[in-house]
Amino acid sequence: MTKTQWVIFDMDNTLINTEPLYVNASNQFAKLMEEYGRCDREEVKRVQNKIDAELFTQFGYSTDRFAESFERTVREMLSIGIYRSNDNFRELHREELIKLARKIAMSVFDQKSIEYSYSADVVRKIAEAGYKVAVITAGERWVQIKRFDDLTIRNLFHDCWVVLRKDERVFSDFCIKHDVDILNSWMIGDSLKSDIIPASNIGLNAIHLQTSNWESRDGKLKVPPGVPSVQDLSKVPSLILGIKHA
């Protein structure tokens, strides 16, 4: 059987921009806390961000992590003595405040994410050049399937894997399943830890996208040697197709 050439895309912050959904929810939550307890919005966001990052090891990409980070922020802010400043909230019980906070967090997963303006064009170009295209995304199944189904170019994809965590095993299994020509196939994503390093370790070519996420702010991981790092997906076709036609 002939091996096939693939381009595998990460989804969140690669094909779609999910960041604004989380930022909006954090802002809404910070506003609620400010109205409730006369606390500083920026401080609420700082505490929530810190807790969210800490919870990542335990919860991974689950929807529960984000909601949990809101709940723990409420508890922490209340424990350091913020007080009710607004009559509207005088009767609001702590547990109700937590419920409201969790509801704001969960709203992120019901909303349609924003596809980058260039995503459809990039995927189409690559598919037309003869590559099979796929998505491998980490997260909770119902959320990721919904986001995948919302893609305008959904029908171009040959496969979509939703996994709890992306590691070498996942990329390796994908390549075995589809008899992938590893040396002539690519992984495109914004996460060094979940996309670039594991894919690169099993021999796939990789292109790193410099989307802002916790990891890029953290700065501990480095782009592997020989892996191009570009601003966004729109720069990808010339890199891949340039090499293919060279």
Where on the chain is the footprint of Mg ion (CB under 5 A)? 10, 12-13, 190
Q: Least CB distance from residue 130 to Mg ion, whole Å?
A: 25
Measured over the CA atoms of residue 63, residue 150, residue 19 and residue 97, the dihedral's sign is: negative
Rounded to 10 deg, the angle between the 19-37 and 41-59 helix axes is 130
Selection from 3, 12, 39 nearest residue 150 by Cα: 12
Q: Least CB distance from residue 163 to Mg ion, whole Å?
A: 13
Q: Which is nearer to Mg ion, 172 or 211 (CB)?
A: 211
Q: Which is nearer to Mg ion, 12 or 68 (CB)?
A: 12
Q: Which is nearer to Mg ion, 73 or 119 (CB)?
A: 119
Q: Which is nearer to Mg ion, 36 or 171 (CB)?
A: 171
Q: Least CB distance from residue 100 to Mg ion, whole Å?
A: 29
Q: Least CB distance from residue 71 to Mg ion, whole Å?
A: 25
Q: Which is nearer to Mg ion, 78 or 224 (CB)?
A: 224
Selection from 18, 211, 13 nearest residue 112 by Cα: 18
Q: How far is CA 158 from CA 36, 71, 123, in A?
A: 49, 39, 12
Q: Least CB distance from residue 13 to Mg ion, whole Å?
A: 4
Residue 188 pairs in a beta bridge with 9, 207
Q: Which is nearer to Mg ion, 29 or 61 (CB)?
A: 61
Q: Least CB distance from residue 209 to Mg ion, whole Å?
A: 8
